[in-house]
Structure 1
Amino acid sequence: MYSRFEDVPVWQESRKFVNKVYNVLVRNDKLRRDFSLVDQLKRAAYSILLNIAEGFERSSNKEFANFLNIAKGSAGEVRSILYILLDNNYISKEDFNILNTEILTISAHLSNFRKFLLSKSDYKK
């Protein structure tokens, strides 16, 4: 399958997404002042990337699938925060649509990859 977590397509997508979130944060002075919301968004976005990597390093597909499930939960958290940002005029509708579309895609890819792993034998090679 993959020899390193960096080769996993959904990890690559998540890495790009984290960078896009960061770019939105750094160019928005109003948003940067809402420290707790910014911190929560960064932690949730980072969690997706980190859980994919941590799960990959586990010894079984079942364990990896569990970490993908946690990453999917973090993707839901990011989506909720995006709505908060939009509702409070921290981000434009355009930025919201771009980020929301990407996080929905990542969430679907996490779900599909999880199903794939659970359909295979339990131990990685």
Structure 2
Amino acid sequence: MSTVKRFEDLEIWQLSRQLCKEIYQIIEETNLKNNYRLCNQIDGSSGSIMDNIAEGFERNGNKEFIQFLSISKASCGETRSQLYRVFDRNFISKDKFEILIEQTEILSKRIGAFINYLSSSEMKGSKYK
């Protein structure tokens, strides 16, 4: 992480941004936009993944970053659960569903691996230098 100067450079943030864009594309291109509650929930949870990575990074401390990454990982699981509802209600195809589920699983694993890395790192962030 010492070479990462901006949250935008983090692979997990880039992956979460891509997922968020794909969710929004589904909202725009399907009748999901008319199911206001589910639409707002999945739009919010997918955005929360990337937003919490960014917010935690900007806190400049390992403990805070890990806390926000944990929230981000939870939002990833929430998004995955909502994708089942989106699929079950026929807003997306089985192929699209499987691709998005795989994306959320990969992202969740990478966020978890990053949490483990930070937890065992000697680097504690600029707050604690």
Tell me which interval the TM-score lies in, with the shorter structure as reference length.
Answer: over 0.9
Dislocated runs of 4+, deviation >3 Å: none
8 Å CA contact 1:61–1:117 kept in 2: the answer is yes
Task: Map 1:2-21 onto structure 2 (within 5 A).
Answer: 2-21=4-23
Counterpart for residue 114 of structure 1: 115
For normalisation by structure 1, the TM-score amounts to 0.95
Task: Map 1:1-125 onto structure 2 (within 5 A).
Answer: 1=1, 2-28=4-30, 30-121=31-122, 123-125=124-126
8 Å CA contact 1:52–1:71 kept in 2: the answer is yes
Per mean C-alpha deviation after superposition, the further-off stretch among 104-113 and 56-65 is 56-65
Aligned positions, number:
124
Q: What letter matches 1:102 in structure 2?
A: Q
8 Å CA contact 1:11–1:52 kept in 2: the answer is yes
Give the unaligned 5+ runs of structure 1.
none
Give the unaligned 5+ runs of structure 2.
none
Change in Cα spacing, 1:66 to 1:122, as seen in structure 2 (3 Å) is farther
8 Å CA contact 2:26–2:32 kept in 1: the answer is no
CA RMSD in angstroms comes to 1.0
Question: Partners in 2 of 1:58 and 1:32 — Cα distance?
Answer: 34
